[in-house]
Amino acid sequence: MESMEKIIKEKLAEIEQKENVRIIYAVESGSRAWGFASPDSDYDVRFVYVRRPEDYLRIDEIPDVIEWQLDEVYDVNGWDLKKFLYLLYKSNQTAFEWAQSPIVYCNSEEWQKILPVLCNDCNHCDYFNPKGAMFHYLKLAENNNRHLKSENVKLKKYFYVLRPLLACRWIEDRRTPPPILFSELAGGYLPAALTGEVNRLLSAKETAPEKGMIPRVEVLAEYIENELCKLKIAAENMPPREKGSMERLNKIFCETVMGDGN
């Protein structure tokens, strides 16, 4: 991991130089951050960057996404801070997941000032919409569940369904952004009767290739279908939450770009 971390940090430094940006935060996303990577899983590197003040004053717009590399080993891309904060205002779940990643490649004082906006000491965020988040994770679960209907299925798809379902349970119970680690979600919300089977699949995934196949697991298929039905009702009945202040995010953006308040 140390050598790969070094390579990734070198890539981030190259992005800063060639794109003329300042990366204030970079993490691992995807299965490595979720805690169920395969030996051949790629590295999903995500970052938040800031441009020079004058770049935000141009007549012609500069892209707010940097897509740097996509191949069998690396998937590297990032968002401009302005885009990140706007999507946070819209309660985009990706923003919350990046903020919680256990694998951090780049941190900064600027990011540490932004972090409390994502989640304060009481584990509450003014920009987190529980109802919208539940529908987001339900859609992920439904889309991946389509791949679990055959006699033989991709092993990883079970975790791509279970993780969002457990995230929904967390949101229903706590009304806060769910943790990114699968183990934390499972420890709180996976039924005890399924723990043995899920742990068996986790062990298998540690050595199985990314495209590894297994026979369909009926006990999990039944649980998934029941949860999808129950959680849809729970999401529909959940009251909406009022959005946080856009002005607060505007202030954070200006301070970060201009370097005020350091």
pLDDT digits (tens, 9 = 90+) for 113-131: 998 888 754 456 889 999 9
Share of the chain above pLDDT 90, in %: 83
Predicted local confidence at residue 241, as pLDDT: 85
Mean predicted confidence (pLDDT) in 203-231:
94
Predicted local confidence at residue 240, as pLDDT: 86
* Lowest-confidence region among 82-86, 100-104, 209-213, 224-228: 209-213
**Sign of the C-alpha dihedral computed for residues 196, 44, 103 and 210 taken in this order:** positive
Q: How far is 160 from 151, CA to CA, in rounded Å?
A: 18
Predicted local confidence at residue 121, as pLDDT: 47
Arithmetic mean of pLDDT over the chain = 93
Predicted local confidence at residue 260, as pLDDT: 58
Predicted local confidence at residue 126, as pLDDT: 87
Alpha helices (H) in 103-181, listed in sequence order = 109-118, 130-145, 155-174
Q: Based on C-alpha coordinates, what's the Rg of the chain? A: 20
Q: Residue with structure tokens 């949101």?
A: 171
Mean predicted confidence (pLDDT) in 134-152:
96
Predicted local confidence at residue 123, as pLDDT: 59
Residue 220 has pLDDT above 90, yes or no: yes
Q: How far is 97 from 185, CA to CA, in rounded Å?
A: 13
Share of the chain above pLDDT 70, in %: 96
pLDDT in tens, 5-57: 999 999 999 999 999 999 999 999 999 999 999 888 999 999 999 999 999 99
pLDDT in tens, 236-245: 999 988 888 9
| SS3 state at 189 | helix
Answer whether 27's CB lies under 8 Å from 46's CB: yes
Tokens of 136: 């987001």
